[in-house]
Amino acid sequence: INSEEPAEYVALMDERMHHPSKAAQIDAQLKKRFTERSTVLVIDLHFDDPKSLGNEEAVLLLLDSIVRLKSEAARLCEKHCGQPVASMQTRASPCIFALFSASAAAFSAAVDFAAICCASDKGITSYGRCSPSLGLAVGDVLNLGFCNAFGDPINVAFKLGEDVAEPRQLLVHEDVIADIDAHAKRHGQPLSVWDLQPASTQVSGVTLSYKLLTLSVDDPQLKQRSSEIVSANTESAMNTVEMFPKKKEQKKREGIKLVRLVTGGLDRKSRRSSEEEKSPTRNSFFGRLGWRNLRR
């Protein structure tokens, strides 16, 4: 059990382990507390033509590329109201695993990530161009506060994204398609502009039906999507740069006001003692007695 997982979950699992007779009751509590319907996005990172470097240098470049792409994926997930699962996000493995409350948002996040990798310079990392394979599934998931998650939809998404999909392919499970169609009025219909081809495969005796989207580097839609994302990022960065000088100047003014408030609140005795400390004559013995009277 991960120490970052919810304390309530850890306590229930500990109780379940020590009191097997309560297993059914505890399982019902776990399901009620942590089960939710989510759309699962799994992205497996592949790299085309990695540079021929020494083993040590190649490993460092690969790790750098994975971290950068995971950071970009986390930003896109947040943009589409999703969140990466920490158990996979914090590992140095070429895989991204995220949960979304809406299937349309998950699909849009997947396409945005593919657009960045396939149709812009951001996809060309220090290790090589990234060509992701992606899988989407939906259903009931045991979500442990986005620290970890379990459930059949997660297994299906990993099968589609890691085992079935080829590089530059997005496989959308049929349940996701149905979910997007059912909630089109509320969450939009992002499927209509893409050429999704129906397909199916057998995995461990189970038939998985899905729709396949091939992500070509030369796809004009992906290029347009990529340019929009890059443009939005540039505008956001410029707004951030412009905001910092204003904050700095504001803090400077607030600091000046604070100094004036403090010094203005000093009583006369404090001011006099401060002035005497600055004057060597007043601090001397003759100065304290009144040296002018002594001269007379």
Looking at residues 18-36, what average pLDDT do you find? 94
For 146, counting Cβ atoms within 10 Å of its Cβ (0-12 exposed, 13-18 middle, 19+ buried), the class is: middle
Gap between the Cα atoms of 225 and 107, Å rounded:
13
Looking at residues 70-76, what average pLDDT do you find? 93
Does pLDDT of 288 surpass 80?
A: no
- The owner of tokens 């169609």 is 181
Does pLDDT of 293 surpass 50?
A: no
Binned at pLDDT 50, 70 and 90, residue 250 comes out as low
**Is 0.85 surpassed by the pTM of this model?**
no
Return the higher-pLDDT residue of 270 and 75: 75
Q: Is 39 helix (H, G, I), strand (E, B) or coil?
A: strand
Does pLDDT of 267 surpass 80?
A: no
Quick one: which H or E segment has residue 70? Answer: helix 55-79
Give the β-pairing of 95-100 and 82-84.
antiparallel
Binned at pLDDT 50, 70 and 90, residue 243 comes out as very low
What mean pLDDT value characterizes the chain? 80
Tell me which residue of 77, 101, 123, 115 sits closest to 213, measured CA to CA: 115
Binned at pLDDT 50, 70 and 90, residue 285 comes out as very low
Domains of the chain in start order, with CATH, are 37-234 (3.30.70.1230)
Return the higher-pLDDT residue of 28 and 288: 28
Binned at pLDDT 50, 70 and 90, residue 228 comes out as confident
Looking at residues 146-156, what average pLDDT do you find? 95
Gap between the Cα atoms of 233 and 285, Å rounded:
69
Calculate the alpha carbon distances from 241 to 82, 233, 238 in Å: 26, 12, 5
Looking at residues 34-50, what average pLDDT do you find? 90
